[in-house]
Structure 1
């Protein structure tokens, strides 16, 4: 494992990864960026580490990748990590295992866009601040957009709340209806154990302007080598234009939430161990 990590960090680009990144790099200008700041060169180098995490450290298994349709779609799932490892692994799964490969544009917390270096790194990999107008434009361009509707409530869960779905925001559903985009639910298993939080120090987090401040048994940002899996469900399509009454939207949201809950239950029942299997 150590030898492969050294190779992943060496800067040498795997030809297969380079070909897959090239396949999802439309609209790149002569400077090497698309209009959102996505850089194929940055991604193909970062993918060396991400692929190592995916294949060797977390040993991710992806189920139902074939359910992700071509063209525009919203990926909606549970937050299963104190950090962004869940989103990174979902995006890596679809770049490495989908045929043809897909590039995921994730909507991230505004907090991270104000962090030096982190904000640039996220922009270069195609991740954007979670503003409705950003997501709508991406969907109108037939992109694949990932949203965690639990928001910081999900990312800040403690080990005592693992795999409990928190309240979902409604914005993603209105967005899907307005953009006429199918919703692909997914359940991510393993992130709760990879980045466990014993306590969320909310008062100090608010003082520091952070969405949450976990006290962990690990040295952040280093995760534990929990075995992870992601389960993609069949696409869900809803009728409407996005301006429906809250009660209608709430019913749609609950259907998505229930679908994700069922995928989580399946993943937990099928896994053979937290760190092995």
Structure 2
């Protein structure tokens, strides 16, 4: 063995020895951090937060995650952060939570806000305000899987790529599935078109009929004012392969990157059931989709009329 080889071997031995000595300290530091986080969650969200976590059933595989990648540890901290914003920042009012049935359900909501805080708030509401508490599964755009970190984070907290096969399997597992039928068009609306629903896709209706799943229409109010978009730069969006590139003047000011503290209001409508052939012509499916869209638009109109202020 050469002198250099002996020196390298000796250095590796020393590094291994140091690592073994440091490992107990690292474990204690991790345990301390977890205890601190648990204490923080309890103090901010109340004693019932931990109790609700224990009541959420998750079918885990051998790797400690469910078949779609949901990790309870990640989901716990994600829902805690969402619940904090839901209760303390957006101060959400929830109406009709008792309308959400147990078992499989399709949650169909309007989409808004340039950044999808509406999905986060809905997830927090399903966990904090609905009985029994649920972890929702959200359908996300395929392009999100091309983003660093996001492509890993989304599956860990329960989101799945929005393709029919994934949605069908989740409903067969009696999950609560959140779908925004407006897709990226919903969050790309400018301020002058706020709370005006764009075209709904037909896929959710075919899925509901095929799987005999009730649809709960949801109106989310508050998201349209959190970021004031005055236009979209389509050329830049295409270059970045994004669904849109909104022009939001408030982001030019210090702190403007945060959403405005608008007051959210969530209205859960009564479940709707549809029958027929899920392979019917588009014209037949469109009539049923129109009923859901019209219901949500009516709920939005009534909710906006009832509120006294965007912020209070």
Quote the offset at 1:11 in angstroms.
Answer: 2.4
Task: Give 3-state SS (helix, strand or coil) of 1:218's partner.
Answer: helix
Asked if 1:251 corresponds to 2:257, the answer is no
Cα RMSD for the two superposed structures: 1.4
Residue 148 of structure 1 deviates from its aligned partner by 0.6
Q: What corresponds to 2:153 in structure 1?
A: 121
What are the superposed Cα offsets for residues 108-137 of structure 1, whole Å, 9 maximum, x if unpaired? 111112111112221111011111110011
Partner of 1:136: 168
Is the CA contact (8 Å cut-off) linking 1:83 and 1:221 kept in structure 2?
no
- Which runs of structure 2 are paired with 1:36-185 in the superposition (5 Å)? 36-185=68-217
Q: What is the TM-score with the length of structure 1 in the denominator?
A: 0.92
Tell me the SS of whatever aligns to 2:220. strand
Gapped regions of structure 1 (runs ≥ 5):
1-9
Tell whether the 8 Å contact from 2:137 to 2:158 is kept in structure 1 after alignment. yes
Instruction: Tell me how far apart the structure 2 counterparts of residues 112 and 17 of structure 1 sit (CA, whole Å).
Output: 30
The C-alpha deviation readout for 1:34-90, integer Å capped at 9, x for no partner, is 111111111222233211110111000111111111111111110122111001101
C-alpha distance in 1, partners of 2:210/2:257? 37
Structure 1: distance between partners of 2:79 and 2:182: 27
- Which residue of 2 is the match for residue 6 of structure 1? none
The match for 2:29 is none
Q: Which one is further off, 219-228 or 237-246?
A: 219-228
Deviation at 1:18, TM superposition (A): 2.8
SS of 1:11's equivalent in the other structure is helix
| Offset, 1:221 | 5.0
Q: How many residues align structurally?
A: 267
Is the contact between residue 112 and residue 119 of structure 1 (CA under 8 Å) also seen in structure 2?
A: yes
Q: What SS is found at the alignment partner of 1:238?
A: coil
TM-score by length of 2: 0.82
Match of 1:215 in 2: 247
Match of 1:11 in 2: 37
Q: Which has the higher helix share?
A: 2
Matches within 5 A, 1:194-273: 194-219=226-251, 222-273=258-309
